[in-house]
Chain A
Amino acid sequence: MRAPTSGPEVAAGDVLLSVENVSLSFGGVKAVTDVSFDIRKGEIRAIIGPNGAGKTSMLNVINGFYHPQKGRISFKGKTRSKMRPHEAAHGGIARTFQNVALFRGMTALDNIMAGRTLKMHRNFFWQLLRFGPALAEEVEHRHRVEEIIEFLEIQAIRRVQVGRLPYGLQKRVELGRALAMEPELLLLDEPMAGMNLEEKEDMSRFVLDVNNHYGTTIALIEHDMGVVMDLSDRVVVLDHGIKIADGTPDQVKSNQKVIDAYLGVAH
């Protein structure tokens, strides 16, 4: 997969994105308070925490959807206090959503093609004409999309409207659309939520394959502890918007604060 066009290259293992002292509140509600952590190039990074811990808010901050009141975010060495989602997308950040956000009336193929929009160089009118260079470009993009379809093993549903697909497959199409952007950083918001065991195993395999095959850095939010501990290289734990632990799955698992947050403390 080609590297995104903008920004300097980051070597594997170096910090790709760092979050420094970020605080976010909605009116009087503090969603995230003074959180710092980093994501290194090529790793699978998990953000976990009990309900309402501020995980999705954190993801929305990274992705530029929310603007934190305090703190800074640097992506590939560039520091920004405010970033719009489309800038994040141009910069090489793609995401999936907790509740599937696909175009339900469109086929799986078209949904994934939509992920290529940012990579299209010909303008809208050229594409309407679908002729000459615009056609050549579409063929090229279609080829990349077909590679993703094969990668995710969804050939059989290529021409099926996503609204008619079972939930697990919709999630896979959504992952496909995010992959179509050829992101450098892929944000997955609860990729396994609501899935049965088999679907979870499939999804885990795809997440690992994406990381392994494309070298994509992945940050994911997940509730299923088994999945998180198996998949991720490093885990950051949030509770009530505060970072309570950060480290390898084993370190986090044995951290007393984490155990208390999940199981509660005797009073």
Chain B
Amino acid sequence: MVPDAANKADTFPKLLMRNAKSFGDRPAMRHKDLGIWQTWTWAQVLTEVRAYAVGLHRLGLKHGDTIAIVGSNRPKLYWSVMAAQMLGAIPVPVYADAVADELAYVLAHAEVRFAAVEDQEQIDKIRSVSERLPKLERMIYDEKRGLRDYDHAQLTSIDDLIKESKDAMANDASLGAKLDAGIAAGKGIDPSIILYTSGTTGTSKGVVLTGKGSINAAADTVAFDKLNEMDEALAYLPLAWVGDHYLNYAQGLVSGFCTACPESAETAMSDLREIGPSFYFAPPRTLEQLLTRVTIRMEDASRVKRWLFNYFIGVARRYGESILNRKPTPLKGRLLYALGNVLVYAPLKNVLGLSRVRVAYTAGEAIGPDLFAFYRSLGLNLKQLYGQTEAFLYVTAQPDGEIYSDTVGPACPNVDIRIAESGEVLFKSPGMFTGYFKDDAKTAEAMTADGYVKTGDAGFFDEKTGHLKIIDRAKDVGKLNDGTLFPPKYIENKLKFYPNIREVVAYGDKHDFVTVMLNIDLTAVGSWAERNNVVYASYQELAGHPLVYDMMEKHVAEVNRSLASEKVMAGAQIKRFLVLHKELDPDDGELTRTQKVRRGFIAERYAPLIKAFYDGSKEADISTEVTFEDGRKGTIAARVKIRDMKPVPVPVTEKAA
């Protein structure tokens, strides 16, 4: 029923008007302000956004203009997107934590005339690069704090703007009528939004998406997961990321579910618990951090509680998943699981804020089988999807009941997938992009002659399940000098599944053997240090501690044993490793904004370490420049030790698979 209605509305503003009519009294948005959840219904949102749009129009925003949206998940920034779209202008969300230089690149490339920003911090950041943005005329801000003494010649508060427009609209009915006529005339094939990619491969590109494509894609997945206006989601992922725009904005408008905005980024976890969303998305990293935190707290718990937890998590691991998948399960298992649910699983899910979750997704990185199974065994319907910005997120998704930790599911409804001869995954989908903004050459590069989009990922369809499996980025799969296959991510992921290890970078392509750089997880290793009386003054000191090295050596040895057991990978065992003296950080360009490692960049930056890996040195000096949060730079110098590993002998007697 919902998707049908959605098909008629081909732009988001039309959907908003439909929602205000169909379920105007249902909550559309929530935001925690001054410790209390404030709620707006769809009808109220429409009133606010219409006034906002009129205000923007009066400020001079026109059809086809671009407007930057910079800040965290706040109702008024979502309204900025809606209001711009009402006028036929194109919103360009930018990562709120981007440093001034990145911000300037996107704003200049998108040629924005307006910017809707969260607060003083973003205004200061944009002002610091204003000479690179000659086209920028005006900034509109949400949070007034600290801005009282600023020159308001080019600044407007969103609140004031909405209020003034409401007064103006009350006096002059033609303003509203003109706006409504503009919305009705809006075309679904016009650009609806430009999302800049996170820049895994070089500078970021502006992905242009249309309203019609976006809505069609969202309508398909809303039907796939049976979302409706009774559902609720917490919008805590970056506004500029395709995931947030798809999962919360597009699906929210199509299905009419309520989007809740956390009080601040730091309170997202407790807000999650208070809201109790029914639709939830979390990247594997977040799920991992949650589990690490639970594990650490359980280690500090009393004996009885620890025993209960360990026993019933064991029960869940044995029976939980088959119960969730509605497979036959022995009666004893069912009874134990029911008991465990009362004593452990339900309270645990409640603490994590996942009690009401009906559909949960994870994507972005490979998820550890143990981690995945842990959440599923608790009864959380966690599924995987595969997608990218160019597809408007979804390419594949796992349907209920067909869940595997190592696949990403079959093609989504109306999505067509083909595997190229090189192994690269190609797709055609309803939501796919129309091109990169102002970059026809890159657009042509990303498409095949017959209109399929190249994902850049290598994968294949699993014969048993018919699901797609992604191995690595197509261009990243390398070979050791002896010809052994070397998929770096595969090795990195195996190590990253240990809670003590936060990040891994593996090298080996065109070398004799595999080496890895490790980042410790400060929460987990710090807690271990506390329990074991290991004294340290800084991250650097803890990372270089001999006992920490011993612990890491054990993890690497285990991974080597696991690699040795696989015929193809036995030659790619890790020969040497080191623990990095600083955390890899997106501000230093070592990770992308979506927290993926930039292997090539790191290899250049830490060249002395790579050299030491392969010339046999026992330690190496390294000095790196770091960028602080306020944009200033400093250097960190360290002497990093390198450990050698003994290779695990490959078992002579091969077991048949």
Contacts and interface: CB of A to CB of B under 8 A. Distances in A.
A155 interface: yes
Contacts of A146: 34-36
A153 B264 contact: yes
A212 interface: yes
Interface string A101-138: 00000000000000000000000000000000000000
Contact of A158 (B35, B145, B146, B148): B35
A87 interface: no
A110 to B, nearest CB: 13
A147 B36 CA distance: 11
B264 A155 contact: yes
A153 to B, nearest CB: 7
Nearest to A156: B266
Contacts of A209: 145-146
Interface centre among A149, A150, A155 (most CB of B within 10 A): A155
A164 interface: no
A143 interface: yes
Contact of B148 (A150, A155, A212): A212
Contacts of A86: none
Contacts of A30: none
B539 to A, nearest CB: 14
A84 interface: no
A212 B149 CA distance: 10
Given A147-B34, A149-B35, A155 B263 contact: yes
Contacts of B36: 146
B267 A156 contact: yes
Determine the main DSSP class of B at the interface with A: loop
Given A153-B264, A209-B146, A159 B34 contact: no
A156 B264 CA distance: 8
B605 to A, nearest CB: 24
A136 B529 CA distance: 48
A150 to B, nearest CB: 6
Contacts, number: 29
A155 B267 contact: yes
Contact of A155 (B35, B145, B146, B149): B35
A156 B36 CA distance: 14
A143 B148 CA distance: 23
Determine the main DSSP class of A at the interface with B: helix
Interface in B517-576: none
Interface string B1-45: 000000000000000000000000000000001111000000000
Interface in A72-106: none
Contacts of B263: 155
B34 A150 contact: yes
A12 to B, nearest CB: 16
Contacts of B266: 155-156
Nearest to A158: B35
Given A153-B264, A209-B146, A212-B148, A159 B270 contact: yes
Contacts of A142: 35
Contacts of A213: 145, 148
Contacts of B145: 151, 209, 213
Contacts of A151: 145
Nearest to B264: A155
Interface string A188-230: 0000000000000000000001001100000000000000000
A212 B270 CA distance: 32
B241 to A, nearest CB: 22
A212 B144 CA distance: 13
A17 B263 CA distance: 39
Nearest to B32: A155
Interface centre among B34, B146, B148, B149 (most CB of A within 10 A): B34
Contacts of A212: 148-149
A147 B35 CA distance: 9
A143 B33 CA distance: 11
A263 B567 CA distance: 73
Contacts of A159: 270
Contacts of A147: 34
Given A146-B35, A146-B36, A213-B148, 10 more contacts: A143-B34, A146-B34, A149-B34, A150-B34, A153-B264, A155-B266, A155-B267, A156-B264, A158-B35, A159-B270
* A-B complex: 10 closest residue pairs judged by Cβ atoms: A156-B266, A146-B34, A146-B35, A156-B267, A155-B263, A155-B267, A155-B264, A150-B34, A147-B34, A156-B264
27 contacts: A142-B35, A143-B34, A146-B34, A146-B35, A146-B36, A147-B34, A149-B34, A149-B35, A150-B33, A150-B34, A151-B145, A153-B264, A155-B35, A155-B263, A155-B264, A155-B266, A155-B267, A156-B264, A156-B266, A156-B267, A156-B270, A158-B35, A159-B270, A209-B145, A212-B148, A213-B145, A213-B148
